[in-house]
Structure 1
């Protein structure tokens, strides 16, 4: 019985479809692609037994499933509004509530809810109606908007494709989360088809194949005619020496030996970060394996005491459920048989079973193991000091030459092939045997699909990386050295998500449908390059956290240090903080902050604006908002720079902030200064709220005054510019302090919604006794 079929606003669907060639697609093609993606995402939620399951949290680091059900519809609206294709919102309340997910930066935050563990989510029926309304609006938009080919990153249609491909990412995310739900809360939907447990040949060995060294270039050409995410573009060439890599991805049978050898209890196999995580989670085996020992659950909130590892999951036989017969291979073996793996000594129960999407099944030992980066790294260390995972460059080398150069167009990407001979696009609703599909021309199986492959590199942008203004924060906040890189896609990857160019990133402790392949550097062949981010990243409230920049010399890798391609991280220095403090608090109170606050109040009075609330985008260390709080009753200061915000928040709490200056060493002496700034006792500190944001989300309320004064230091000015008209009240003004306005398309974009009231030079004291001049523009909503 399925109690949640009413979550469908379209058709029930269990498989994906090939992506679009953006140089030749029609409106009909785009509409079909959109509908298929929308249908497939909703169809996953049919597998939840009742509405109560939507409000449960399958992972303590994620939100309840109701969020993921509605989130993708919200992104459609928000991105189409930014692109100008949609001019009226569907439901701003929902488009705010379901806009932002969790902050996944910390693995030990037991209830990492952005909105708080007691947040009241709306009834499911309202979320279903919201998705229905969004579907209809997007469908109408596709039908009514003129289409000009090719669709490029500069085209408004790019926003449509962005919404579709974002939904496909969440098809995979939601499938992982549903797989983590208690088995009693899910039911197998109609036509859901798992892969066979094995082929006719049991995989007892996983030989290493020698790969000759050479040169490899990574990166998607900007004119390639398919949708791409920002971190796929750019280009980097590596010289890779000869190496070996396993023919198959590491299987459950191989991981079993690691488990039996006590690998999960032996800290010597784990990195420092990995062992800290393992000590917290207390895993005895991979997370989707099921045993009888009541292992600690990773679920959150009301499910935190749940265990997936209970004896009752071994007492039912497969025949108690509908026998799944699939057309692509043999059905699973009998639970009480011995074909697919070992049993306990008494011959009654197998050692382990496997949780798949909606069932607990007999362990398919020939499927690839699903693990996180820490487990993969520990397995390699257990296997031998010279073993490791592939690097990104090596992974690109084992893709083989059969596809040809990207210049050939879409035929060079396997996701466009009608019969790709790989397990992706939900051909099956599960992993499949590692030998089910033929090897590529180099002898490697499953280079695409089945499960993602963790590689050793840190996630970072490629040279030439540039954010797209419609989704400015998609990837760059995670180029911090704490996120791992996954390649190749999985069985649940749809659309372009498992393209040959796809580069996916997660914290190393996170779970996706991901595994790995064992690699080894050959003696005397030279070391393979592995990219690691060496930029220190300051975390709000935590400071600079240690990260691992090296790998053991025994594994034959050469670390290629690379600065984070997130340029904003490079502003997180004490020198930049000292400069901002001098600007905003220097020169005995006659400084930038007071000058700018006085200027804004003067303009507000001139144009008859209320003096109730203000939002400053680019508040730095808070100097301007403290001055504005003398006049305005509610003030929000927003910045992306954690060091700046830490100083602002400390001032709000203590009225003083102290910054020890770097030590200055000369031949004769060594000195150390302390910068001290303070705010007067009569400052209205209770009127202030500080937020760290990398763009302007819907949660930023409308204000009588919107002050934007940091365009000259952001990565992507247009991303901050596009929503100004939505966060100012009808009777308010926007004040922009920047030399950039008028020099590019920014003014033209805002002119579509607002009128320019004034443009003049703005003079201010830079905090060091000098006067500087920049430009100020004042804007008002067009009536």
Structure 2
């Protein structure tokens, strides 16, 4: 138990009601969140296994062990609840994970054995310091109720719910570790294999036409992530869906029918994944054929698909031998089931855990008209719930006795009929496993981000992420809430299952299916634009909606053409004038010229100009098309924009001094600089998110320069958002050239105290 800074526990507490809670309740919830996460890692037999990569597209487990503590510190710094860091090296190294763009992405450099991670003892020491710090913050910070998203306490709640998200992340990764490297911790209890009644036919249950409204009220007294807020109301046509999640027993029929060998059952993307992964059955099924594993780094050659009589046990609460009455012994012996820490005889009545591609292939195999439910239909299946205006008791996670396999009641799935159905006749609408739905992930109407975590959801509003709903057995806190909306790429593994659905009208053209599909083009640096696929029958009428990520909507070919003209079509463009003034400001205010960062570098003109004055320049841009153009120009490649005009870079630029990065926020890797120039506040989704860290990336005796074209960002407005360590020393209006003749830029200069 060397990694514990608290107490081993697998019992999850109810979240605090933010309208009535006390400091003691918040403190208990924090301790419980922290302890649960650390206790999960007791399942590793040796500290050396923290440095293994159980999934080739994720980082070693040491990252996730440290990451949650680091996020507390980073968010508390942004909120102003703390003013000094604990360990900047850790708070940079463990700040950001990886988000693979596809199932065949190359491994991140931090996954390999050559990357130097700190010793577990150092991470434990760091976690202990963070634990003590947060307890002190809770004690010392005045608590004003209700706690809302405008309260500094929101940062504390964000850290706790983020830690609980990682219960799910880390548990999936540990479940993919070689079985020889894990052990079941004391107190971990798997669910029963069978319920009192056997699971028989998975019949289709009919739901009538229903009006539903999605979205969490902003005044609901619990923490919520940005994508939960806003509102969408729609009419859901009648449909049918399976009363149970699809079981392992049902999915076996698909496997035995050659489902993984039949290209016609899969989407184009799904079949490419099958071939790449060489998949023959679900990820957590185990056979004895040495199937290809998804592990990474030095585990890349490992196969989960090996077992003998000694490695499979029925003494862990699953009583696997009882299944022989329902499934022939010969069939049962083919597949076992990997749980968190054991390989056991298959639990045929448990839900099949698969990714979106596998779920869609099963639907196609079932026959014409079968599909996954859509988000609005999932809300119909939940039946009547107390109105949100009733407060916390209207949310399942706040109920004293939760009628679902949620909140860590068990350390695994359970039979699909163990818990009672909703009044509409559907089982496991909440809990057991998450459920894939057809909708692309997107914000609801009125979506806006929170400055503490501006890019929590919005980068996933790209048409490449599908929503998952309902929570799993290990979902706690916000993740187990009725309002929870999460999403993953379609190849992603989670404790996630599915049920099948179908519409009741034969003429699908008459059905307005309330599935929300993102139709905004998203440019991915290094890949270009990839079409957003809608994996539904073409006859369905679905809702094609814009991404609610403002950056994706801004980052168009038209925008690129326009900015290239504005930046390079005029000698004294906005970017050129502002960058040149930065050089004179440094001279006037005696600021060093070793390093500058330009936030909002667009197609690079400002960063190119800064290279005349600074030894090192970092150009940061959110938009893929814009940063791609900057990189091409830096490398000497040719760019032609409107009316066939060519861009020719000035020979006075020091191109080798410049580094361009696409970033959606200001991570710690940006470090601090003599000059911080920011020019894109007019086009970011949450300006405050870009302003609150300016003081920390400005060196002592350095300066921040904020420039805007519309005059909106004047000294008075900026002062509200900037840290007190930045003092405004000058404000001026300066002319620049653009296509309309002459414009006026508002520039404010802020010195670090």
When normalised by structure 2's length, the TM-score is 0.97
* SS of structure 1 residue aligned to 2:620: strand
Q: Is the 8 A contact 1:103 1:114 kept in 2?
A: no
Distance 1:675 1:183 in 2: 61
**Equivalent position of 1:379 in the other structure:** 362
Q: Is the 8 A contact 2:357 2:491 kept in 1?
A: yes
Task: Specify the SS of the correspondent of 1:678.
Answer: coil
Instruction: Give the CA deviation at 1:114.
Output: 6.1
Q: Which runs of 5+ in 2 are unaligned?
A: none
Contact 2:53 2:111 in 1 (8 A): no
RMSD, matched Cα: 1.6
Distance in 1 of aligned mates of 2:222 and 2:720: 28
| Contact 1:655 1:681 (8 Å CA) reproduced | no
Give 2:534's aligned residue.
Answer: 549
Question: Are the equivalent residues in 1 in contact too, given 2:111–2:296 (CA < 8 A)?
Answer: no
2:285 alignment counterpart = 289
Q: Counterparts in 2 of 1:383-394, with a 5 A limit? A: 383-394=366-377
1:552 is displaced (CA, Å) by: 1.1
In the alignment, what sits opposite 1:664?
none
CA distance in 2, matches of 1:417, 1:380: 34
TM-score normalised to structure 1 length: 0.93
Pick from 313, 325, 330 the counterpart of residue 318 of structure 1: 313
- Matched residues in 2 for 1:245 and 1:503: separation? 20
Report if aligned partners of 1:429, 1:491 keep a CA contact under 8 Å in 2.
yes
2:29 is paired with a residue whose SS is helix
Alpha-carbon shift at residue 241 of structure 1 (Å): 1.0
Q: Distance in 2 between matches of 1:717 and 1:527?
A: 37
The match for 1:236 among 229, 232, 250 is 232
- Aligned partner of residue 259 in structure 2, secondary structure: coil
Q: Does 1:770 align with 2:741?
A: yes
Tell me how far 1:527 sits from its aligned partner. Answer: 4.3
Contact 1:655 1:679 in 2 (8 A): no
In 2, Cα distance between equivalents of 1:726 and 1:316: 53
The corresponding residue for 2:324 is 338
Tell me, in whole angstroms, the C-alpha distance in 2 between the residues paired with 1:461 and 1:751: 30
Does structure 2 retain, via aligned residues, the 8 Å contact 1:635–1:687? Answer: yes
* Inter-CA distance 317–486: structure 2 relative to 1 (3 Å threshold): closer
Q: Is the 8 A contact 2:578 2:707 kept in 1?
A: no
Partner residue of 1:141 out of 137, 142, 166: 137
Please give the alpha-carbon distance, in whole angstroms, between the structure 2 residues aligned to 1:694 and 1:531. 24
Deviation at 1:103, TM superposition (A): 2.6
Question: Against the structure 1 CA distance between its residues 32 and 703, is the aligned structure 2 distance closer, same or farther, given a 3 Å change threshold?
Answer: same
Is the 8 Å Cα contact of residues 391 and 457 (structure 1) preserved in structure 2?
yes
Structure 1 residue corresponding to 2:706, chosen from 726, 736, 760: 736
Give yes or no for contact 1:616–1:636 (8 Å, CA) kept in 2.
Answer: yes
CA contact (8 A) 2:53 2:61 kept: yes
Question: In the TM superposition, what whole-angstrom CA distance separates every residue of 1:3-35 from its partner, at most 9, and x where no partner exists?
Answer: xx1110001011212111100000000000000
Tell me the equivalent position of 2:721: 749
* Pairing of 1:82-121 with structure 2 (within 5 A): 82-113=78-109, 118-121=114-117
CA distance in 1, matches of 2:367, 2:14: 40
CA separation in 1, counterparts of 2:208 and 2:271?
34
Residue 637 (structure 1) aligned with residue 619 (structure 2)? yes
Query: Do the aligned partners of residues 541 and 744 (structure 1) sit closer, same or farther apart at CA in structure 2, a change above 3 Å counting?
Result: farther
Name 1:350's counterpart in structure 2. 333
Task: Write the distance in 1 (CA, Å) between the matches of 2:561 and 2:112.
Answer: 34
The Cα shift of 1:580 comes to 1.1
Worse-matched range after superposition: 545-554 or 154-163: 545-554
Which of 183, 201, 205 is the matching residue for 1:209? 205
| Equivalent position of 1:489 in the other structure | 471
Q: How does 1:477-556 map to 2 (within 5 A)?
A: 477-523=459-505, 526-549=511-534, 551-553=536-538
Task: Return the alpha-carbon distance in structure 2 between the equivalents of residues 170 and 340 of structure 1.
Answer: 36
**Are residue 780 (structure 1) and residue 751 (structure 2) matched?**
yes
Q: 1:461 to 1:9 in 2, by over 3 A?
A: same
Query: Which of 709, 722, 726 in structure 1 is aligned with 2:692?
Result: 722
Count of aligned residue pairs for this structure pair: 748
2:565 & 2:704 partners in 1: Cα distance?
A: 26
Tell me the alpha carbon deviations over residues 712-759 of structure 1, each in whole angstroms, 9 at most, x when there is no partner.
111100000000000011011100002333487541231522111111
User: How far apart are residue 389 of structure 1 and its match?
Assistant: 0.8
Q: 1:457 aligns with which of 439, 444, 459?
A: 439
Q: Counterpart of 1:431?
A: 413
1:572 is the counterpart of 2:555: yes
Instruction: Report the CA distance shift for 1:682/1:34 in structure 2 as closer, same or farther (over 3 A).
Output: same
Query: 1:602/1:375 Cα in 2 relative to 1: closer, same or farther (>3 Å)?
Result: same
The aligned residue for residue 73 of structure 1 is 69
Query: Which deviates more from structure 2 when the two are superposed, residues 291-300 or residues 526-535?
Result: 526-535
Name the counterpart of 1:666: none
The whole-number CA distance in structure 1 between the counterparts of 2:740 and 2:201 is 73
Residue 587 (structure 2) aligns with: 605
Q: Shift in Å at residue 586 of structure 1?
A: 1.3
Consecutive unaligned residues of structure 1, counting only runs of 5 or more, are 325-330, 662-672
**Distance in 2, Cα, partners of 1:141 & 1:205:** 54
Contact 1:62 1:113 in 2 (8 A): no
Conserved in 1, the CA contact under 8 Å of 2:374 and 2:439?
yes
Quick one: distance in 2 between partners of 1:95 and 1:440? Answer: 44
